[in-house]
Amino acid sequence: MKKVLFTVLALAAVLFVSCDSKKSTENNPFMSEYANEYGIPPFDKITYADYEPAVNAGIEQQNAEIDSIIKNTAEPNFENTILALDNSGEILSKVAGVMYALSESDNTPEMQKITETLMPKLTAQSDGMYMNDSLFAKVKTVYDNADKLGMDPIQKRLTEKYYKRFVRNGALLTPAQKDSLKEINRKLGEVNLKFGNNIQHDLSECVFFVDNKDELKGLPETIVENAAKLAADKGKKGQWAFNAIAATRLPVLTYADSRDLRRKMYETYTTTASHGDEWDNSENIRNILLLRQQKANLLGFNTYADYATDPYMAKTPKAAEDLLMQLWRPAIKKVDEEVADMQKYAAAHGDTAQIEACDYYYYAEKVKKEKFDFSEDDVRPYFALDSVVKNGIFFAANKLYGITFEEMPDAPKYNPEVKVYDVKDAEGKHLAVFMTDYLPRPVKSPGAWMNAMQEAYNYGGKNIRPIIYNVGNMALPSGDTPSLLTWDDVQTVFHEFGHALHGMLTRVQYRGLAGTNTDRDLVEMPSQINEHWAFEPEVLKNYAHHYKTGEVIPDSLVQKLNESAQFNMGFMTTELVGAALMDMYWHKKAWTADELKNIDVKAFEQEVKNQLNMPALVEFRYRSPYFKHIFASDEYACGYYTYLWSQVLEADGYMAFEKAGCFDKATADSYRINILEAGDTEDPMVLYKRFRGQAPTVDALLRNRGLK
């Protein structure tokens, strides 16, 4: 999953604009209220040339608002300082919300040029705010006098959040140190962006061709048809072309009978952004690590890992690593059993060669078929994307929370493939706008994610409801065959929708605390807990209908699906936990410039594998050169472990539904009120305990994964 949390102030640090600085703001779509009921951006009217004038105006607006806060002669309080700050930058928020969506979903060459050109300007704007001594003095006064000012707990929470954000962004530094930090942030923004662009380039442009149809044996027909289309697009009609995007890579590794084809795919993917001078991310990794180390030292931390874990539930790198190792040890033991089963199967079917990493998915699928008489091919015809959405995630949300989804075919869209829904609460009142964008495009980033184009808040008599979107890269339809999902894809759709529910259901008054603006430790819990409803029989039977016949998925297949749910969990856990540990190893070291100057990225990864005794047939879920979560931004840098931390909360939390019933109203109401609606209004553990009635333990997660 890919997910970015932002507030108005944070937006300025990570978003970007178009580069026609001469265009007037007159008739600029961003400069006035959008002329539709729910404030959906008029995508058809927005041009590249609109962004820079709007951002310039937005910066001017926000600076004026900040200046007004500073010059206010009244005693600083919550309303005239913290709330005013939380609601500053309306124009920037509008521009950034649209631009972030398009930069990930329709990242054309023009868009890439825009981001590379204007990122430093927006980074400087963010730094200027967070390092503004006069503004910080006002915030600190409110923070220090919170009790005297009679602030309620939620107001104190928002005040504390802003105070800590200022401190973590250098407010306590000397002027010279602030200048250094600004330069570090500027450079980080540039290198982060280059890192992400290199990945997108390689995944879309690094293509290998097949000219012998015999090599395609075992592949689903839709994959073959799409490969033929891609080859024709590349000027080689009559051949088949493959790139390493997930929608193509996983079917090839899972079903291709040709080991040569599997090896080509595996090598293409695992060398993403690590070959050739122009698109190799090795130097970017070195630069990012050095800059982060310098930033951590400036802010008083020994390593970037100390800096990154400090504000969250783990608090220290050791605590995070201890959690990971509780999962790691049983996971690698399980891998040994899985590999032995696969090697035994291969030998029994005439393959005496040692199984390689490129064979793992293939033989895992074969063993699953033999052990459970079950294959992904058996269930894919029952998982049409449209049904999974309308009869799966929407159905479950209605049963749990009473919300409904009405498609708005005439609503503005940033791409024709996008679908837009009016979401209403149980009383029929507008709750949110929800957009879905599930199919891959060459200009779309890999993976799946949720984000908010507009966040929820109440201010100045306005009750602003959010605009939320889910994006994915599911299998393309082919001819009369719709997009058919793997079981993993189905869980991904439910996962990202869990994030969407967190954003849509929020009832928090203040933007900085609303929706998914929570601690990273908690933010993955709603997404991961929502995956459980994909398994629930009542939900499964509602969305799993054969795309040709309409037949409901047979009980025999459901039974096999459940029986095989823990299959291959050693591998899946090892690649995930391994990636989190590698992230931790990169960032827990106090790097020097000399150490980083000539470090070999692949050699470092191998050293980590050796220290962890990582099984040879398992690769990190993401190798460093394409580990976008931790190197394309700071969002999950030394924070990938939080996926596992949240899974502990999720596994323990879902036990409440298991005991009471998956649609038990009292349990669903408690979960909605204390987690989905509450945002960041209280400490995450307080909210969790209020819902669950106890602190979480790792036991449920180990049981769910068949590791205990």
Same domain, 159 and 212: no
Same domain, 159 and 238: no
Among 454, 485, 517, identify where a domain stops: 517
pLDDT score recorded for residue 24: 63
- Classify residue 640: in a domain, yes or no: no
Same domain, 163 and 249: no
Mean pLDDT within 541-569: 93
- Classify residue 572: in a domain, yes or no: no
Same domain, 154 and 260: no
Task: Domain count for the chain, please give it.
Answer: 3
Grade residue 243 by pLDDT with cuts at 50, 70 and 90: very high
Residue numbers of the domain that contains 479? 383-517
Q: How far apart are CA 104 and CA 453, in angstroms?
A: 13
Among 270, 301, 320, identify where a domain stops: 270
Same domain, 105 and 221: no
Same domain, 463 and 512: yes
pLDDT of 16 higher than 60: no
Same domain, 11 and 157: yes
Mean pLDDT within 407-435: 97
Q: What is the pTM assigned to this prediction?
A: 0.84
Same domain, 27 and 164: yes
Same domain, 163 and 214: no
pLDDT of 346 higher than 70: yes
pLDDT score recorded for residue 3: 38
Mean pLDDT within 653-668: 96
Cα separation of the two ends of the chain: 26
Report for 119-123, 165-169, 351-355, 455-459: range of highest mean pLDDT? 165-169
pLDDT score recorded for residue 408: 97
pLDDT of 232 higher than 50: yes
- Classify residue 672: in a domain, yes or no: no
- pLDDT tens digit sequence for 113-147: 777 776 777 777 888 899 899 999 999 999 999 99
pLDDT score recorded for residue 671: 98
Mean pLDDT within 151-173: 95
Same domain, 142 and 230: no
- Classify residue 266: in a domain, yes or no: yes
Element (H, E) at 149: none
What are the Cα distances from residue 224, in Å, to 216, 240, 241? Answer: 7, 7, 9
pLDDT score recorded for residue 428: 96
What CATH number is given to the structural domain containing 85? 1.10.1370.40
Which letter, b or e, does each residue of 90-121 get, where b requires 16 or more Cβ atoms within 10 Å of its Cβ?
A: ebbbbbbbbbbbbbbbbbeeebbebbeebbbb
Mean pLDDT within 230-238: 95
Mean pLDDT within 627-651: 92
Of 496, 524, 575, 605, which is the active-site residue? 496
- Classify residue 250: in a domain, yes or no: yes
What CATH number is given to the structural domain containing 484? 3.40.390.10
Among 270, 289, 315, identify where a domain stops: 270
Strand partners, 114: none
Query: Catalytic site residue 116?
Result: no
Same domain, 410 and 499: yes
pLDDT score recorded for residue 11: 35
- Classify residue 693: in a domain, yes or no: no
- pLDDT tens digit sequence for 503-534: 999 999 999 999 999 988 889 999 999 999 99
Q: How far apart are CA 20 and CA 52, in angstroms?
A: 6
638 conformational bin, left if phi > 0, alpha if psi -120 to 50, beta if neither: left
- Classify residue 254: in a domain, yes or no: yes
- Classify residue 21: in a domain, yes or no: yes
